[in-house]
Structure formats: C-alpha cells, structure tokens
C-alpha cells in the first residue's frame, strides 16, 4: 500500500475496498496510531487531527473509513446489532496486516473507541501496545439513545442528510446503518464492558463531561475494571468530539501518553 495522505488506490481488506490516508513515518520506521472513526465518521471527518497527531507524536498515523462510510465500499442493511464486535474481530486485524503495521496504538472515537476496546479485549495481538479511547461506549444510556433518536428526526426532516452527503458516497447507508442499530429495542441491553477485563496494555480515556451521547459512567467502568495502567483526560464543557473541540489539549494528552509508551518500550529491564 502507498503510505501517503492521498493514495491512488483504496486498501483491500477481505475483498472490500476501504479508503484510507497515512501521515508521518511508515510502519518500518515508527509505531503507528491506527484511527477508528465514530458512527457517522470517515477519513475526511477527522479533519486535520491525524496530521496534528503525526506531528506531535512522531508516530505514523493510519486512518480509514469502515465499509459503508466515506468512499469505502457500501454494506447491506440492516447492520447486525453486534457490528462493532464484527468490525473488531473480522476486519481490524486483517486491515493492519494489509497495511504492514508492526507496532500499533489503537485510537478510536465513539463507535471506533468501542471497536478498539473490543479488539484489545478479544484478540491476542502483540502489535497493539496501547489504547486511546475518545468518548467510548461500553453500554447504552437512556439520554444517549434519546440523542440518537433525535438525530434520526434531524436526518429525516432537517439538513443532516445534506451535510453527510458531502462526506459519504452513500449517506443513507452510513446514517441508517448506525441509527437503526442503536435505536433497535434489542440494542438497549447491549453491553461490551467485559472486554475491559482482558486488556493488558495501557489505556488513555478521553471524555467531555458535557457529552450528550455518553456520561462519565463509561470512564468509571474502565477505571473499575481495568488491570492495566489507565489515564483519564476529562474535559470540562466538551461534548462528543473533544479531539475537535479541545484540539490542543487532546493532542498534547495523546502525545504525552504515546511518549510514555515509547519510553517503556525502550526501557531496559534488569533481570534478577
């Protein structure tokens, strides 16, 4: 694959073509931050965040659009209610194989954070050295579900569809795949918090305390269950996208976390 911000071809994973972009050094030269977008996200909707991360950390950054988003291949609807688990277990590993990733820090936002969390707790992959989870979801909350239902109304009668059309080749697939899964009555009991029990790498959890889609209960779940080192960055007044709303603080926090990981990797351990 081309390690470039503007690749000529999409990346093929399990027979599906996925758009992607790369920043900073390639995998042979440095560890890689693998970015996993939110439920309505794609490569373009990270905006300049990947480039800023590469500059601040010195690491490579790989960002891609999951199937059904951006310019990636579409998917059939409805999405299964375990679509985040399927993405983690069936797609993420092969994607890192195809990209030649050697050492990785998984960085996810919202649904993407959940996918990263599931992968770290379900797949034994020594390439993964750390997790950065921005506004993760481990279980549903009533207020969050109400916000998603409200988004459905905005999509049906407002300008949300027009906005998404600028970023997704098939906006109905992108929106309905996310919205219809989360608002399915059977999804109210969805819970993947047990994935935290199996993490064996350090984690940084970033959360806005005014996030309408998830409360600090999601962060506390990590703190109560994790066996590995964990750091939290709680941003007062920030909503669901703190990496865009408080860009400088979030980039600085991630850079510090990654620098600590690199020091630990390089530290010589004295044998007794």
Asked if residue 6 belongs to a domain, the reply is: no
Q: Residue 256 corresponds to which tokens in the numbers above?
A: 């510090």
Asked if residue 130 belongs to a domain, the reply is: yes
Q: Residue 67 corresponds to which tokens in the numbers above?
A: 């199937």
Asked if residue 198 belongs to a domain, the reply is: yes
Over its length of 272 residues, how does the chain's per-residue pLDDT go in tens digits? 899 999 999 999 999 999 999 999 999 999 999 999 999 999 999 999 999 999 999 999 999 999 999 999 999 999 999 999 999 999 999 999 999 999 999 999 999 999 999 999 999 999 999 999 999 999 999 999 999 999 999 999 989 999 999 999 999 999 999 999 999 999 999 999 999 999 999 999 999 999 999 999 999 999 999 999 999 999 999 999 999 999 999 999 999 999 999 998 887 554 44
Cα–Cα distance measured from residue 163 to residue 237, given in angstroms and rounded to the nearest whole number: 25
Asked if residue 4 belongs to a domain, the reply is: no
Asked if residue 3 belongs to a domain, the reply is: no
Give the domain extent around 228. Answer: 11-266
Ordered DSSP codes for 92-136: IHHHHHHHT-SSEEEEEETHHHHHHHHHHHH---TTEEEEEEES-
* Domain total in the chain: 1
CATH number at residue 17: 3.40.50.1820
- Give the residue ranges of DSSP H helices in the chain: 49-57, 83-86, 93-99, 111-122, 142-157, 160-165, 171-182, 217-225, 242-245, 247-266
Distance in Å from the first CA to the final CA of the chain: 44
């Amino acid at each position: 694959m081309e390690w470039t911000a503007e690749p000529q071809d999409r990346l093929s994973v399990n027979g599906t073509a996925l758009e992607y972009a790369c920043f900073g050094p390639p995998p042979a030269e440095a560890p890689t931050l693998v970015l996993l977008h939110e439920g309505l996200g794609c490569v373009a909707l990270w905006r300049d965040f990947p480039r800023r991360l590469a500059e601040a950390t010195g690491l490579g950054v790989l960002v891609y659009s999951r199937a059904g988003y951006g310019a990636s291949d579409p998917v059939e609807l409805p999405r299964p209610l375990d679509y985040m688990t399927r993405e983690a277990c069936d797609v993420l590993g092969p994607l890192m194989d195809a990209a030649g990733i050697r050492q990785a820090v998984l960085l996810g936002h919202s649904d993407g954070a959940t996918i990263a969390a599931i992968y770290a707790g379900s797949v034994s992959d020594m390439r993964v050295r750390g997790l950065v989870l921005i506004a993760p979801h481990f279980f549903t909350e009533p207020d969050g579900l109400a916000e998603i239902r409200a988004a459905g109304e905005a999509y049906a009668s407002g300008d949300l569809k027009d906005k998404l059309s600028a970023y997704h080749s098939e906006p109905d697939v992108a929106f309905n795949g996310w919205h219809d899964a989360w608002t399915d009555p059977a999804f109210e009991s969805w819970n993947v918090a047990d994935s935290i029990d199996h993490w064996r790498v350090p984690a940084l959890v970033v959360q806005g305390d005014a996030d309408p889609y998830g409360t600090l209960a999601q962060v506390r779940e990590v703190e109560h269950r994790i066996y590995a080192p964990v750091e939290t960055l709680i941003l007062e007044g920030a909503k669901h996208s703190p990496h865009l709303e408080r860009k400088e603080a979030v980039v600085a926090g991630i850079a510090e976390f990654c620098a600590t990981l690199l020091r630990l990797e390089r530290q010589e351990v004295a044998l007794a």
